[in-house]
Amino acid sequence: MSKKTMDRYLKGDANLEEISLKTLKKIKELSKKVTIQADPIHFSLIFELITEQDSDLVQKINTLITNHSYDHHSAQILFTYLWKKIIKRHTPYQEFSFILEELLEDINIWVEKSANSNRILSNKMHTISDMTRAENALEYIKSEIIPNLKESQQDTLKLRNNVEQITIEVNSLKKELNEATILARTDELTGLPNKRNFNEFLSKSIADKTTAISLVAFDVDFFKFINDEHGHIVGDNVLKYLAKIFKEEIKGRDFIARIGGEEFMLVLQNTDIYSAKKLAENIRLKIEQSKLHIKKTTQSIKLTISAGIALYRQGEAIEDFIDRADKALYVSKNNGRNKVNTEADLL
C-alpha cells in the first residue's frame, strides 16, 4: 500500500471515535430529511465528507446535500464514482478484464459481508434514537457501534489494499504491453519505426486531414556492393549510421521509418513538395560529405543515397501515394544515383 493511502487511513484511526461520532451525527441529521441509514455506503461517503480527503468528492456530496438531492440512489452513484476514481488513478488500461473481474469479486465479497453489519448498525441506530439521555447514547455508541465501525473500516481498508495490489499487477502488465508494442513497431537494427509503424502513421496523418503531406523515399546507393565487399556486419553498421543521421536531421512532427532492406520513408506533415526537396537535399548532402570508417581497419566507406518525393493528393489511395514516391526514387536511381527527384520529374 502506498504511503499516501496508509497516511490517510492511519489519520482516520487516530481520531476514529471523534470522526465516527461526527459521521453518525451527520447521517442522523440527513436521515431527518431523507430515508438513509448508517450503512457502509453512507458511512463511507459521509466519512469522506468529514475528513475532506478528496475535494472533488466533497464538493459533489455538498452539492447534493445543498440541493436536497442526497439520498440512497445518489449515494450509490457517488460510491461507485469513488471506487472508479481509485481504480483509474492507477489503472489506465481498463482492458485487463480478468484483473478487474478479480477486483469486482473482492468488492462483491465486501458488499455481502457488510450487509450483516448494515442490519446491525441500522437496529442499533434505532436504539440510539429511543434514548433520552445523551450520556447513555454516547456510551452505547462507544460500546456497541464503534466496534462495528472499526470492523467495517478494517474490511474497507483490506479492500483498498487489494485494489492497490491489483494496481501493481496492472502496471506490470501495462509495462510489458508497452514494451511488446514498442518492439512490434520498431526496427530492431536501427531503432527507427518499422514498416508497420510507418503505415499506421501515414494512415493516421491522412485520416486527420493533415494539409500538405510530403513523402520522401530514400534508398542507399550500391548497398548490395557494400554487403558483398565488406560483409553484412558492415552493411548493418551502414544502416545504423544512416539512421543516426536521419534522427539528427529530422525534427518535430517529421517521421522517419525503415521499411525494409536499405529503404527508408520520411513523412513530412504540413510540408509542401519544395520544402520537402530542400530537406531531402540537405540530408543527401550530409551523407555524401561523410565517411563511415570500418572498425579495426584503415578503410572507410563513402556513402550516398537517392531520394524520390511525392505530395499527397486528396482522396487518393495510400498505395498510389507511396508508388509515386517510389517511382520518383527510381528516376534518381536511373539517372546516376545520389540525387533527389520529385513526382514532377515523372512527367
Question: What are the residue numbers of the active site?
Answer: 262
Euclidean distance between CA atoms 116 and 119, whole angstroms:
5
Give the 3-state secondary structure of residue 294: coil
Terminal-residue alpha carbon distance, the chain: 68
Euclidean distance between CA atoms 265 and 308, whole angstroms:
10
% helix / strand / coil in the chain, to the nearest 5? 65, 10, 20
Q: Is 8:43 a contact under the CB 8 Å cutoff? A: no
Give the 3-state secondary structure of residue 321: helix
Euclidean distance between CA atoms 193 and 293, whole angstroms:
26
Burial of 230 (0-12, 13-18, 19+ CB in 10 A): middle
User: Among 207, 306, 310, 220, which residue's Cα sits nearest to residue 258?
Assistant: 220
Helices first, then strands: H and E counts in the chain: 13, 7
The distance of Cα 7 from the centroid of its chain, to the nearest Å, equals 27
